[in-house]
Each structure stands twice: as C-alpha cells, then as structure tokens.
Amino acid sequence: MTESHLSDLSDVTKPVSLARGLPNAHYIDEEVFKEERQSVLFDNWAGVGFAHDVPNEGDAMPVDFLGMPLLLVRDAEGNVNVYQNTCRHRGMILVKEKGNIRGTIRCPYHSWCYGLDGALRSTPHVGGPGQNIHEDIKRNELGLFEIRSHVYLGVVFVNVSGTADDFTVAHSELLERWKEFDKPLYHHEDGAFVLEVDSNWKLAVENYSESYHLPWVHPGLNTVSRLEDHYHLEEQYKYSGQGSVVYQQLKGEDGQTFPDFKDLTDKWDTASEYATLYPNVMFGVHRDHSYAIILEPVGVNKTREHVALYYASDEAVGDAYKKLRVTNADFWEEVFKEDIFVVEGMQKGRHGVFFDGGKFSPAMDGPTHIFHEWVATQINNGRAKMAAE
Amino acid sequence: MIDYDHLNAQVLAAHDSGDNATLVRIYQKLGNDELANGHELEGAYFLTQAYVYALEGGLPVAKEIHKTLVALGREE
Ligand code: FES
Ligand SMILES: [Fe+2]
C-alpha cells in the first residue's frame, strides 16, 4: 500500500448502497486535476471539438485541450484528422487561429511545411541558404504527430495517450444502443451555444446522469416529462444517464414538426435518451434531433460547455425550419442554464471540509454512482501504472 | 538595375496581407534572374522562398519551382 496517493478511493468503488462519491480533492485540488488529466481524460476517448468546426477541405482549428495543443484538420478525403499542433523542428505552435489551409501548413518560425496528411513536405534552407535537404533531416520521420481520433454523433473524440481500445470497441455498448441514430447529421449555426460554468467538469456529468433533480430544478418539465416517466441508463464502466418514455415533438404554430431520422423503431416514437459517453461528452437523442455537449475542462473549477444541436435532414437546417430550430435551441439553452446553479453550488459545497463524497440514493443515483466508479477506476489504473514503473 | 527598395516594400505588403501569389511572383522572378546570371546560390535561395509560399498557398506553380530546385539538388 503506497501512502503517497492524493486521495482515498476505496469507498467510491463500492456498490451504490455503500459507496461514497469522489472525495473533495477531485473537485478542488490542482494536483488531483493533473492526475485526472492523464488517467481520466488523456487515457480515454475525450471530446475536443465538433466535426462541423472544420466543415471543408483544408479547414483547420487549433484546440487547447488541458494545455495540450491539438490541431483538427479536414483532409482532401473529407476525414477529420487530429495532430499535435507543434512543429517538429523547434516546437513552435503551428496554427494559432481557426482558418482554411489552402495548400500546406507552414510553420511561422522557419517555414517547415506540412501537408493536410501531416507529412513534412519541405524544410527550406535546412542544409544552408537555398539548400532544402540535409542527410540528417529525414522528412518521412518528421511528420506531425497524429493523435488517435474518431468522429461519433458529430463529436471529434481523441485518445491522447494512444493506449485506449479502439473507439468502437471501447464504446460498443452505447454504439449498439443508439445505432439507429448513427446517421448523417445536419447542423446549423443557430443550434450552437457555449455556457461558462464555475465548476469542475465532472459535476456537470454527475448532474446530467440523474433524473432525480428534474422536478425541482426543471419545474417546467413537470408537465411534459415527469419523474416517473424516466428510467436509468446504467452500463457499468461504460456510460450512464437517463431515458424518458414521453418525448413529445416540438410543434410550430402551424403544427410544423422536424423531420424524423429515417427507419427508427417504434420505441423512439415517444422515447428520448440522455447519456454521457465517459469522460466528457453528454448526448441527447430524440426521433427528430440529437445534441452533444462537450465539456471543456478549462481548470479544476472552470468548465466550458460547448453545445451543438443536430437534425435529421438537409431540409431541417433550411430556412423553412428556422423558427422552429431557434425555439428548440432556446428551449435547450434554458434547460441547461437551469442546471448551472446546482453544478456551481456543488462545486462550492466541496470546500466543506467535512463533506465525505455524499450519500447516494440507491434508487435514484445509480447512474451518477456508475460515473464516479468509472472515474475512480481510471485513477486507480493510472496509479497502478505509476507504481509499476 | 533592380529597385530593391521598391521590391522590399512590395514584399512586405504581400507578407502583411498574406498575398502568396504576389510573393511567389516576386521571389520566382528574382530567383530565375539570379540563375540566368549564373548565381546558383542566390537563385536557389529566392526560389526556395517562392516554393514555400506556393506550397502554403496551394498554388500550382509550386510544381514547376519544385522541379527546378530538384534539378539543382536542392529539394527532394
Ligand atoms: S520551429 Fe517550425 S520551422 Fe522551426
Ligand atoms: Fe438538469
């Protein structure tokens, strides 16, 4: 038993009836935040941006992911690739601002040039003035470091460490559950917004996982979606959240509704589901739209929530649906904003030195507990790896 | 005589506005002139500048400049 661990997680991995939540340090301590950066966020598949952030060939967007400089690039084949945004020469940041790369990525320092595929294309004056080759500069060994990535339901996921199972293996359960929604998605910029929250990113997940708070925090939902209409989504070590059996489509003045995703089974006529793909992406799926919320962990007590709504067809993002889309986006923004005071309040509450992680309701907090258990397991894995080194 | 002050101003303006086509045109001409005068080093230097901006801008002329530099043993 090593005594150097930053926190004691032995109660967190117990069954829900006995378990405690993660200790305070996991929300307020910079050292633990660093530990989680690696074990929870870098070692798994974390969401870092939306595919629609780079819609066209050559579009590039730098992302600062917990200090790690990433570059999202749309290549000539239409795929999104992610690279470390650091030049292989002297380590200069390659791309500072979102934009379109017409030809190659040129480092602003000594102008080494990289293709959209990450390959090093030119090394000007590297062998002296006017001499662009040198026997020790092997271009095929000096391409940009590619970061493993995968696009799912509009979100670009990365596994920084490169050690996670393939995305489709790691998340096979949710992919299977929601396979009917794994279709082309249509986004309009009026369905995007960002919320700043003064809390650790995990509290947003924890709140999102349970329906227990709905009657109190979202009283407006009481009439359309009551507590008893909800069920838990619980897949140990994988994902968790909640579902509802009474989804009703939004209706415009003239009875207009969004077009449905094609070929959905009957279940989805009235069902909707909300789950977090661990660690940091919260999804919602409905017969006529889905959404994704990427939690950007800005700091131990600061989170940026990037929200994007998606529709089922090109038509749904056209002018004819503008009004309905705006109503829908406003609705969700309102709901997500209603959650902010509890998420920030829980953050403040974690400075209470006697708080012990809290007591879960075995009936209502199962999905939240599963998230805690997963986080604790990731941290334990990281500590075991450190101990073995 | 080449008017270097004027050229400099042109190059700086093109740098500021990210006008790769103009940069390529200026550097390529300088490079080719130097080569024509038998100054390989100076020529390759300017053509390298032209090449990089052509690559960055995705300009088709990059191919032609690349060919010249390869022929001089200065690019791969
Ligand atoms: S640091 Fe990028 S070319 Fe030198
Ligand atoms: Fe909520």
Report the CATH number at residue A129: 2.102.10.10
Of all protein residues, whose CA lies closest to atom 3 belonging to ligand 1? A110
Domain count, chain B: 1
Q: Which two tokens stand for residue B28?
A: 């390529």
Closest partner residue to B75 (CB to CB) among A111, A129, A132 is A132
Name the residue facing B52 among A102, A124, A131 (closest C-beta): A124
Q: What letters, b where the CB count within 10 A reaches 16 and e where it falls short, cover A99-121?
A: eebebbbbbeeebbbbbbbbebb
For chain A, how far is it from start to end, CA to CA, in angstroms? 15
Residues A288, A327: one domain? Answer: yes
- Kindly state if the Cβ of A144 falls inside 6 Å of ligand 1: no
Domain that holds residue B39: 4-71
Is any ligand 1 atom within 6 A of the Cβ of residue A92?
A: yes
pTM > 0.90: yes or no: yes
A194 reaches B (C-beta below 8 A): no
Residue A242, beta-bridge partner list: A232, A274
Q: Is residue A106 part of a domain?
A: yes
Neighbours of ion ligand 2 (CB under 5 A): A 339
In chain A, which residues have their Cβ closer than 8 Å to the Cβ of B42?
130
Q: Token pair for residue A335?
A: 């709901």
Q: Please indicate, yes or no, if residue B43 is contained in any of the structural domains.
A: yes
Residue B33 lies in a domain: yes
Q: Are A206 and A342 within one domain? A: yes
Whether residue A365 sits in one domain with residue A254: yes
Q: What pLDDT is attached to residue A3?
A: 44
**Is the CB of B52 less than 8 angstroms away from the CB of A103?**
no
Q: Which of B55, B59, B61, B68 to mutate to test the interface with A (most CBs of A within 10 A)?
A: B55
Q: Which helix (H) or strand (E) holds B12?
A: helix B4-17
Whose Cα sits closest to atom 1 in ligand 1? A90
Contact across the interface for B45 and A122, Cβ inside 8 Å: no
Report the number of distinct structural domains present in chain A: 2
Output the CA A120–ligand 1 centroid distance in Å: 11
Range of the domain at A318: 182-369
Size of chain B, expressed as the number of residues it contains:
76
Ligand 1 nearest atom to the CA of residue A112, by list position: 3
Q: Among A60, A73, A52, which residue's Cα sits nearest to residue A146?
A: A73
pLDDT at position A228: 87
For residue A290, give the H/E element and its range: strand A289-299
Q: Is the CB of A89 under 6 A from ligand 1?
A: yes
- Structure tokens that stand for B39 in this block: 């100054």
Helix (H) or strand (E) holding A100: strand A99-100
The mean pLDDT value of chain B amounts to: 95
Question: How many Å apart are CA A116 and CA A54, to the nearest integer?
Answer: 13
Q: What are the pLDDT digits (tens) for A348-370?
A: 999 999 999 999 999 999 999 99
**pLDDT per position as a tens digit, A140-183:** 999 999 999 999 999 999 999 999 999 999 999 999 999 999 99
Ligand 1: atom nearest CA of A88 is 2
Q: What is the DSSP string of A76-135?
A: TTS-EEEEESB-TTT--BS--S-EE-SS-EE-TTT--EE-TTS-EEE-TTBTBTT----T
pLDDT digits (tens, 9 = 90+) for A284-305: 999 999 999 999 999 999 999 9
In a domain, B58, yes or no: yes
DSSP A271-285: -EEEEEETTTEEEEE
Neighbouring-strand partners of residue A303? A197, A297
**Cβ separation of A124 and B48 shorter than 8 Å?**
yes
Residues 6+ apart with CB under 8 A from A354: none
Residue with tokens 């001409």: B29
The pLDDT value recorded for residue A5 is 77
- Using an 8 Å Cβ cutoff, are A107 and A91 in contact? no
The pair phi, psi for residue A282, each rounded to 5°, is: -105, 125
Share of chain B above pLDDT 90, in %: 88
Residue B76 lies in a domain: no
Task: Write the residue with the smallest CA distance to atom 4 of ligand 1.
Answer: A110
DSSP H helices, chain A, are 25-28, 30-36, 167-170, 172-177, 201-209, 214-217, 322-349, 366-388
**Contact indicator for A279, A178 with CB cutoff of 8 Å:** no
Ligand 1 within 6 A of A87 CB? yes
